[in-house]
Amino acid sequence: MARDPDGIFQSGATWLRADFHLHTRADKEFRFTDNENEFTGRYVDALAKAGVGIGVITNHNKFEVDLGMN
């Protein structure tokens, strides 16, 4: 059985707030005009302040990928 060092699942389950629709700077419509070196830390801090324990990046339809299918 897996260990739970933080005790988050002491009762076998717990409620976590999650955001399954996050965008990053890779999304051309996303704007961050402050110091780029602070982006990640401020993003994570804002999620934590909002009580979000799980974040899922969904930069859907925003990537230009060459899949070699030409």
Task: Tell me the per-residue pLDDT of 25-70, one tens digit each, with 9 for 90 and over.
Answer: 777 777 778 888 888 898 899 999 999 999 998 877 666 666 666 5
pTM as predicted: 0.60
Provide the pLDDT for residue 24.
Answer: 80
Quickly list DSSP for the chain.
Answer: ----TT-TTTTS-----EEEEE--TTSTT----S-GGGHHHHHHHHHHHTT--EEEE--TT------S--
Domain limits of the chain? 18-57
Provide the pLDDT for residue 16.
Answer: 86
